[in-house]
Amino acid sequence: MGFAEQVGPEAMVIDEYTEGTVFDLPFFIFQGDQDAITPPEPARRFYESVTAPHKEFALIADASHFAAYRRPEQFLDLLLTKVLPAVEPARQQH
């Protein structure tokens, strides 16, 4: 949490929209359903504004900002069921 406290003030002023909303590769947002740093509704609004060949949004139950660490089994399931199928065709082409 010491690290998070250091980046917290800077993270609060980041505007994801300035990075763009059009992606040429699959786009995923997986986050905790109780995330106070990046609340689910603003994240969902950003997700809805994104254009990508494939995109997925999922909330990890009973988790906050560090959902991948707090609920690794749920995060792994999303990687295997959402990300892998989306990127597997591209992997097979190479």
| Position 72 in a domain | yes
The first and second tokens of residue 33, run together, are 């359903």
| Position 15 in a domain | no
Point out the residues of the chain with pLDDT beneath 50: none
* Number of independent structural domains in the chain: 1
Which pLDDT value is given to residue 70? 95
The first and second tokens of residue 40, run together, are 């689910």
Residue 74 lies in domain: 23-93
Which pLDDT value is given to residue 17? 80
Which pLDDT value is given to residue 68? 95
Contacts of 41 (CB under 8 A, 6+ apart): none
| Position 17 in a domain | no
| Position 42 in a domain | yes
pTM of the model: 0.78
| Position 73 in a domain | yes
Which pLDDT value is given to residue 13? 64
Which pLDDT value is given to residue 38? 87
Which pLDDT value is given to residue 9? 60
* HSE, side-chain direction, 13 A CA sphere, residue 68: 5
